[in-house]
Amino acid sequence: MIRKATIKDLKILAQMNFKFQISEKEASDEMIEIKSLDFIEDKLRKQLKEEKIIFIIAEEERIPIGFMKGLIEYEDYYGEKKIGYPSMAYVDEKHREKRIGEKMLDYLIDEFKKRGAYLITAFVNASNKKALNLVHKKGFGIQSYEFRKVLK
């Protein structure tokens, strides 16, 4: 089951967000700082109150197994139109290969539509082949490339 997260989900969201940070650090050559659970909880508590931020949770037998975060912002470039941004996704390792990420993305896309989004822009780590395949499967096209250099 996929549903919107509420403040009651704060602790489990923070725990999954922490695991997400670790997996991002392992997949990246950038110097990613892992934030503490207390820091994450404080940040999520504020974000859960923001209208422009959407958190969704995937559950199996009422146990949270994944989450996705989305953001809606206005872009002047497109004439004050709303743009949806899926910005973070995590699925517990034991529940991968079950299309949970795809179901969460479908749910988030529906939320963006309900809120009047004109366009969805997804930024995907170049080394995350599964996520790249998913956005292609969902009809996203490549618009640009982002290049980074870590300055130590």
Residues of the chain with pLDDT under 50: none
pLDDT of residue 61: 93
Q: Closest by alpha carbon to 142, among 125, 128, 121, 127?
A: 121
Domains in the chain with CATH codes: 2-137 (3.40.630.30)
Give the residue among 36, 70, 42 at the shortest CA–CA distance from 56: 70
Close Cβ partners of 111 (under 8 Å, ≥ 6 residues apart)? 4, 54, 56, 70, 84
Predicted pLDDT of residue 63: 94
pLDDT score recorded for residue 29: 60
pLDDT score of 78: 64
- Residue 106, amino acid: D
Supply the angle between the helices 100-114 and 129-137 in degrees, to the nearest 10.
50
